[in-house]
Amino acid sequence: MRKYETIFILHPSLDEEAVKANVEKFKGVIENGGGVVDNVDAWGKRKLAYEINKIGEGTYTLINFSAGPELPKELDRVFRITDTVIRHIIVKDEK
């Protein structure tokens, strides 16, 4: 199992319940795919460095997890089909 981290930005119009539901959905993808969630860090609403589709801010969340090499592909697919995700990135943690 390798260590990964993902940061994703959710649409700012979502309320706290919807943000929590999305975070739980992504944690479920990781855990159901055989991964282990190590840490979830909610950064809250922040201003974006540049506008994306005329949106100037978003709700940031960082998740550290351990998983096999196939799980990040599935997580990326789920991020891409989720309409509330503005941007996301998944990187292998080299620590």
Residue-wise pLDDT tens digits, 39-91? 999 999 999 999 999 999 999 999 999 999 999 999 999 999 999 999 999 99
pLDDT at 22: 95
Q: Which residues contact 14 (CB under 8 A, 6 or more apart)?
A: 22, 59, 84
Q: How many domains does the chain have?
A: 1
Statement: residue 95 has pLDDT above 80? no
Question: What mean pLDDT do residues 1-10 have?
Answer: 94
Q: CATH number of the domain that 38 lies in? A: 3.30.70.60
Q: Tell me the residue range of the domain where 59 lies.
A: 2-92
pLDDT at 40: 94
List C-alpha distances in Å: 66 to 1, 11, 72, 77: 6, 26, 10, 18
